[in-house]
Amino acid sequence: MDKVPLMGKIDIGENSAFSEELNFEESDNLLLGLDESQLHAVTVDTEPLAILAGAGSGKTRVLTRRIAWRAMKGKEDPRRVLALTFTRKAAGELRSRLSRLGLRDQIAAGTFHSVAYAQLRIYWQDRGIKEPTLLANKISFVTNLLPRDKRSTDTLDVVAEIEWAKARRISPETYFSEAEKHERTPPLGLQEVSNIFKSYEELKAERKFLDFDDLLSDCAKIIRSDRSFGDAQKWRFRNFYVDEFQDVNPLQFSLLAAWLDGRSSLCVVGDPNQAIYAWNGAEADHLIRFKEHFRDSTVVSLSKNYRSTPQIVETASCLLENSGIEAVRGGGLKPSIVNYSDEEREAEGIAKKVNEIHTSGEKWSDQAILVRTNAQTEIFTKALREEGIPVKTVSGSGLLDRKDIKTVISELTNSNIPLIQKINDLDATGGDASSTSDEDETTTDTERTVALAELRRLAEEYLALDPAAKSNSFVLWLKSQSQNLYEINDDAVEISTFHRSKGLEWSVVHVAGLEQGLVPIAHAKDSNAVAEERRLLYVALTRAKDRILCSWADNRHFSGNKRKRDPSPWLFNIERAIQNLEKPLTQKEQITKVKSARRKKTKNDLPETQQVRELKEWRLSVSRAADVPAFVIFNDETLLDLVEIQPTNLDELLKIKGIGPVKAERYGKEIIELVSRHY
């Protein structure tokens, strides 16, 4: 293969001792500033390759350097590279970094769904097939299939079950047995969900609708069954890079296998400690057992955290048995924990703290507020706006809701002109200023510029997938991605859920709502679900570069009623970790602590909550009546598991170590009743 020259300057990276931009001719200059493990990950020749990249270890940096370095060495044609991410933001960041490394507009990057949809649209157009309608609102579609008395309460659970099943390639016919095997407990019952799932697929086929999961399965099927089309796509993309590989589900893995078709040209990055989507069908096993899935593969580990202070790394690591992460940075502030009387005071207090931390010359976007559920975002949005602080949320006004962008989209919709031409026209005119005359007076020229730049970036992403795309085709694709488009706001405090924060970072992170029932979430019942909730909190904490502020409330409203809350059982672990940070840790001290740390469940791990006190009192009473020591009833390790798992029935109780059939039958009802008082 001919070498593809890299054009432009090379930014040599954020964790390097260098900061200037230099114009290099040689590929080896891409290796500047890499540590030994990063260097190995970038240059190792063997494939398939898995890069185990812990939080803050520079995985995106390594991934982009590897792509650029192999292109410069003539090992890969960048025009034949496909980089797969899980969010639009991640795809944009990857393309932006590659552009700075000289690979301008040469790398195709996108989500599994966006790439699959782009390929399907090419297939439909080439074969003269009428394009199916993309089912954007699955909830309303499913609602009508439920009994009337269940529509307001159970629709979301049924949709989640259908998505879980399709992610695992489970059909309506096999749903019941597979769901039973995986111990799924939807409120409507397995048989009823199975019937709804079947009706959903039948009605969707009748109306010629496709949902987002169908995009993946149909694309894989067509690539395998239509030889000419499949060969064309395999020729188009020959080298694959997958980010966040621990979150790949069986359906996505199947599509990836179809694209690869037995080839070994695969590089993946991921972190088992950040596997947080098992509830939605993801299987970290694809990463953990990579060498079993891919013969003759290589695994490289990145263990140095360049993002966060030692204090943040130490605090977050208390949630894992062995994070294996070493902090490289020095100095830093201790994380803090604040207790508020209720969620209103918590939101007001955090808003004031955001204002206090923000100083002249700094950006609002340096701070973020992270919460467990979408329902929690509204109160923080209100509190920040009352303080005069700009806010950005995923549910806010998105790119496609802007009037100036709607005008451009309308023009593109009615055009069969090549997309590249229309985008170049847009660049030349800067958009039609007259079209924005009815914009809100607060809309600035800067905001319009940012919005148009984002639209162009999305167009470039689509052109990388289909270079011959027409303008109207781009519009249809763009609307299919609307759920992943953030609102346009240059400088604002982002309010995000833990899940949506993954892959992002901020200087200061406020982690709010750390209470039992939210962290871990109430419906996380078995040990696997609780373990995933633990990893989810770890993800939230490791988004911070310089400072973490944690908070929880004594009271919170649920379903219109204010309820007394206990702190998250993991908040005690965090508090103890903070207390151990008597002084800033040296790098040597941090490495020693990380290597020797292994979490052990002891009585010292028990938080002093009302729930724990009641369980201890009950245990003591029962032990005295039986004339045996308290630990014979159950020990502190079992008590801690009760607090973390919150069992609601005997089956869940029996999964807890230290509680066998005899104890479950003798004490089960009393224990469950005690636990349930504090949901």
8-state DSSP, 484: G
**Residue found under tokens 């169908």:** 214
Tell me the pLDDT tens digit for each residue of 577-631.
998 886 555 555 555 554 444 333 344 456 667 888 888 888 888 888 877 677 7
Give residue 484's pLDDT.
Answer: 54
Encoded tokens for 527 = 């040990």
Q: What is the b/e burial string over 292-317, where b = at least 16 CB atoms within 10 angstroms of the residue's CB?
A: eebeebbebebbbbbbbbbbbbbbbb
Give residue 346's pLDDT.
Answer: 97
Give residue 474's pLDDT.
Answer: 81
Q: d(Cα 72, Cα 95) in Å, to the nearest integer?
A: 17
The residue length of the chain stands at 679
- CA distances 448 to 171, 259, 393, 404, 648, Å, are 46, 38, 19, 7, 52
Give residue 653's pLDDT.
Answer: 84
Encoded tokens for 660 = 């066998």
Are the C-beta atoms of residues 39 and 31 closer than 8 Å to each other? yes
Share of the chain above pLDDT 70, in %: 84
Name the residue type at position 263. R
Encoded tokens for 27 = 């590929």
Helix, coil or strand: residue 260 = helix
Give residue 616's pLDDT.
Answer: 87
Q: d(Cα 197, Cα 188) in Å, to the nearest integer?
A: 12
| C-beta atoms surrounding 446 within 10 Å | 10
Are the C-beta atoms of residues 581 and 334 closer than 8 Å to each other? yes
Does a cis peptide bond (omega within 30 degrees of 0) precede residue 48? yes
Q: d(Cα 502, Cα 560) in Å, to the nearest integer?
A: 31
Give residue 464's pLDDT.
Answer: 75
Give residue 475's pLDDT.
Answer: 79
Encoded tokens for 52 = 């185990």
Encoded tokens for 639 = 């008590």
- CA distances 389 to 353, 365, 383, 485, 611, Å, are 11, 11, 9, 22, 38
The continuous run of DSSP H or E covering 231 comes out as helix 227-236
Cα of 598 vs its chain's centroid, Å: 26
Encoded tokens for 450 = 């940012």
Are the C-beta atoms of residues 567 and 353 closer than 8 Å to each other? no
Q: d(Cα 205, Cα 569) in Å, to the nearest integer?
A: 47
Encoded tokens for 385 = 């706006």
Q: d(Cα 301, Cα 74) in Å, to the nearest integer?
A: 25
Are the C-beta atoms of residues 368 and 509 closer than 8 Å to each other? yes
DSSP string for 230-260: HHHHHHH--EEEESSGGG--HHHHHHHHHHH
Are the C-beta atoms of residues 556 and 343 closer than 8 Å to each other? yes
| C-beta atoms surrounding 137 within 10 Å | 8
Residue (of 262, 313, 263, 268) closest to 287 by Cα position:
268
Give residue 485's pLDDT.
Answer: 55
Q: d(Cα 41, Cα 44) in Å, to the nearest integer?
A: 6
Give residue 678's pLDDT.
Answer: 65
**Residue found under tokens 């039992």:** 516
- CA distances 485 to 89, 229, 382, 417, 458, Å, are 8, 30, 22, 25, 10
Residue (of 155, 138, 156, 137) closest to 147 by Cα position:
155
Crossing angle between the packed helical segments 112-127 and 250-260, to the nearest 10 degrees = 60
Angle at CA of residue 158, ends 153 and 159, nearest 5°: 110
Q: d(Cα 478, Cα 419) in Å, to the nearest integer?
A: 13
Q: Which residues of the chain, if any, have pLDDT below 50?
A: 1-25, 396-397, 428-444, 594-604
Residue (of 479, 542, 500) closest to 392 by Cα position:
500
Q: d(Cα 9, Cα 25) in Å, to the nearest integer?
A: 10
Give residue 416's pLDDT.
Answer: 73
